[in-house]
Structure 1
Amino acid sequence: MDASRIRAGRRGAAAVVLLCAAVLLPGCSDPLSSARKGGPTSQAALTLPEVDLQDRYQKVIKDVLPSVVQLRAGQSLGSGVVYDDGGHIVTNAHVVGAEKTFEVTTASSEEPLTAKLVYSYPEQDLAVIKLERVPQGLRPAVFGGSDEVEVGQIVLAMGSPLGLSSSVTQGIVSATGRTVSEGGEEGGTGATLTDMVQTSAAINPGNSGGALVNLDGRVIGIPTLGATDPGIQGGAAPGIGFAIPASMVRTVAGQIIGSGKVTDSGRAALGVTVRTVVDDGLRPAGAAVVTVEAGGPAAKAGLRAGDVITRLGDTPTGSTTELAQALAAKEPGARTTVTYQRSGTGHTAPVTLGEQ
């Protein structure tokens, strides 16, 4: 299935591409069958684990939901998570957009509070804002690490889908380590995001910037993307959502709060802006260089505007998305080769990647 994802924070669709495989699962056995047949299983034994799980859900919601806020950026609504007791709130860059001032509704505030942008980092689709006045009882969330994320674990997504504040949905971690690319149209950041957490918890417009939480009450991700499938009426592909891992959130937010910007992104770059070009059959044929950063990796490798990058190392780059994904798989300082076309002639040059 060829699926495209949309941003979950704003109502506009920022398309991204993901290849998915559908798998049929065998039917499940009836947990009550032994009781119906007169077996030893009792109704009390069956319901006790359910009661324990419900208690854990309710405890996590009680502990974490007060740390999740509703955020209004201009005419758009999104979510945010209280990062510290100084009033810093982390959210998505596509939620804040081009706005500098925001209205924030916290669990302890009857009226919206004013917050100002500290810094937006579209390359990782993260941003930090700060409340001008920190209300009494503001509760920071506890952020986990990548070692706390396992496929199959139960998670809760908390946020303000469709403007419905303090909403909670439930699912599991479906996969880890996903690489997704967000479109740049209609307010999208155009970012290629690595190591994303895939979840079956419902991610809807307004959930972006909220919290994906495990049953220990720790935030393991920031919900960012919900999936759509062009083959489905309405486009929504239920059960496929993506969250930026908490380890990346801590890295980026920590730098922003500490120095007012991101000083060490850990993201490789060529130092070019590019656009996708197509062949005579209208198929993507490469990433055409629009501008080259003076003194950057591409400039040092001899690239110039008009060249069409077709491969980075051994990875074909038939589009801007594929080039971004190839760079996302590498680290700053890595040495590789760049293959490109210039006036119909192929060239290959060594390049040392820089930092985005």
Structure 2
Amino acid sequence: MRRLRSAHVMACVAGLAVTASSCTSGSGSAGDPVSAAPAAVAASGGGGELQSAYESTVKEVLPSVVQITTDQELGSGVVYDDKGDIVTNAHVIGNATAFQVSLATGGSPLAAKLVSSFPANDLAVIRLDSPPKGLKPARFGDSSKVAVGQIVLAMGNPLGLSSSVTQGIVSATDRTVSESASGGGTGATIPDMVQTSAAINPGNSGGALVNLDNQVIGIPTLAATDPQLGSGAAPGIGFAIPASAVKRIADQIIKNGKVTDSGRAALGVTVRGVVGPDQQPAGVAIVSVTKGGAAAKAGLESGDVITKLGGTTVTTVQSLTAALAELEPGRKVKVTYDRDGSTKTAEVTLSSLDQ
């Protein structure tokens, strides 16, 4: 198997910083599919019913999960409709525009092309050149009904092991995770992510996080690593983009060829980090302002250094992005900034983060 490639992220969870990696594997294949089931539950009186539920969900949903291969990467995808549209992570496809797609039901790999990618939410849609008969779209669930403790299965192609299934629970919801732009990552900050204990490994990216009602509730995207262990994995901490965001972005890409309303807030600026006299992060400097954008309308200019967004202190580009991820377009927010040594404020009506 070829050496794996991964992207590192910083996830802001309950005030603690944990490093995570996007789950894209180097191209390759090996061995038999791997699945996991709780032995303790299986041994109890209700184990038979639970096992049957697992088997039923795998039988129903796994045919909708595909393997996507580029010249350099291997990841997963989910069949979105019977026209051959497949949703996956933007970091799975990278800069590629043509792909080989292997169905869980077998057969020769199918050719596919890029429809569009939206790195800001780490999502993309590709389309099969010749969709086969019997292509089975997945059913996407209601993100508002995802609950902590809910049993979930992660389906994908970790480490090139095609059509693999792992199990766990929903560990938390509404996590905001920031991905590094290095090592193959998109640099996205993604809000409302579902945290799961189901094993998420390189190659799982773009696959399916599924409930026992046979619904996809998220797209597995990131797995945490423990910074104290270097690149060592932090078991049982994975993150999936919620189904609501997946549907919102995918529907627009399929209809318009691009994202026109992300539901994500933006200032309409290009920024870079700055440091203070103590060489510590001290804000973000505006490099350029989008003409007619939110910041421009509020009077912000190139050279201004943003230090607060609403009540959130801004010290780095990542902290600004994370703060914006918690807000919605149209929201009015006070921006505190330094200009020529003076501290100023401006009320900004946030715009939308679109392509």
Q: TM-score, normalised by structure 2?
A: 0.88
**Residue 281 of structure 2 contacts residue 315 of structure 2 at CA under 8 Å; is this kept in 1?**
yes
SS at match of 2:46: helix
2:217 equivalent in structure 1: 220
Q: Which of the residues 208, 211, 217 maps onto 1:211?
A: 208
1:55 equivalent in structure 2: 52
2:262 equivalent in structure 1: 265
> Relative to 1, partners in 2 of residues 1:283 and 1:141: Cα closer, same or farther, differing over 3 Å?
same
Asked if 1:150 is matched to 2:147, the reply is: yes
CA shift for structure 1 position 20: 5.3
SS at match of 1:15: strand
Q: Which of the residues 5, 13, 28 maps onto 1:11?
A: 5
Partner amino acid, structure 1, of 2:234: A
Deviates more, 1:341-350 or 1:173-182: 341-350
1:298 equivalent in structure 2: 295
Partner amino acid, structure 2, of 1:148: K
**Residue 270 of structure 1 contacts residue 298 of structure 1 at CA under 8 Å; is this kept in 2?**
yes
> Relative to 1, partners in 2 of residues 1:184 and 1:234: Cα closer, same or farther, differing over 3 Å?
closer
Q: Which of the residues 183, 186, 189 maps onto 2:183?
A: 186
- For residues 49-198 of structure 1, the aligned pairs below 5 Å read 49-198=46-195
**Residue 155 of structure 1 contacts residue 212 of structure 1 at CA under 8 Å; is this kept in 2?**
yes
SS at match of 1:231: helix
**Residue 294 of structure 2 contacts residue 351 of structure 2 at CA under 8 Å; is this kept in 1?**
yes
Query: How far apart in 1 are the matches of 2:311 and 2:241?
Result: 27
Q: Which of the residues 329, 332, 341 maps onto 1:332?
A: 329
Aligned length in residues: 325
**Residue 177 of structure 1 contacts residue 195 of structure 1 at CA under 8 Å; is this kept in 2?**
yes
Asked if 1:310 is matched to 2:307, the reply is: yes
**Residue 108 of structure 1 contacts residue 136 of structure 1 at CA under 8 Å; is this kept in 2?**
no
CA shift for structure 1 position 60: 0.7
Q: Deviations over 1:130-157 (max 9, x none)?
A: 0001123211111101133110011000
Partner amino acid, structure 2, of 1:232: L
Partner amino acid, structure 2, of 1:295: G
Q: Which of the residues 247, 252, 255 maps onto 1:255?
A: 252
CA shift for structure 1 position 256: 1.2
Q: Deviations over 1:150-201 (max 9, x none)?
A: 1001100000111111011111000011111111112211111111100001
1:244 equivalent in structure 2: 241
CA shift for structure 1 position 83: 0.5
CA shift for structure 1 position 319: 1.0
Q: CA RMSD in A?
A: 1.7
Query: How far apart in 1 are the matches of 2:12 and 2:144?
Result: 25
Q: Percent identity?
A: 62
Query: How far apart in 1 are the matches of 2:179 and 2:278?
Result: 25
Q: Deviations over 1:201-230 (max 9, x none)?
A: 111111110000001111000001111111
Partner amino acid, structure 1, of 2:201: N
**Residue 273 of structure 2 contacts residue 283 of structure 2 at CA under 8 Å; is this kept in 1?**
yes
Query: How far apart in 2 are the matches of 1:165 and 1:175?
Result: 27
Query: How far apart in 1 are the matches of 2:43 and 2:62?
Result: 29
Q: Which of the residues 249, 273, 277 maps onto 2:274?
A: 277
SS at match of 1:187: coil
> Relative to 1, partners in 2 of residues 1:281 and 1:17: Cα closer, same or farther, differing over 3 Å?
farther
**Residue 104 of structure 2 contacts residue 162 of structure 2 at CA under 8 Å; is this kept in 1?**
no
In structure 1, list runs of 5 or more residues that go unmatched. 1-9, 23-44
CA shift for structure 1 position 15: 2.3
Query: How far apart in 2 are the matches of 1:21 and 1:344?
Result: 31
Partner amino acid, structure 1, of 2:11: V
**Residue 108 of structure 1 contacts residue 138 of structure 1 at CA under 8 Å; is this kept in 2?**
no
In structure 2, list runs of 5 or more residues that go unmatched. 17-41
Query: How far apart in 1 are the matches of 2:120 and 2:231?
Result: 29
Partner amino acid, structure 1, of 2:136: R
Query: How far apart in 2 are the matches of 1:113 and 1:19?
Result: 39
Q: Deviations over 1:63-118 (max 9, x none)?
A: 11111000012210010000111111000111111111111000234211110111
> Relative to 1, partners in 2 of residues 1:140 and 1:19: Cα closer, same or farther, differing over 3 Å?
closer
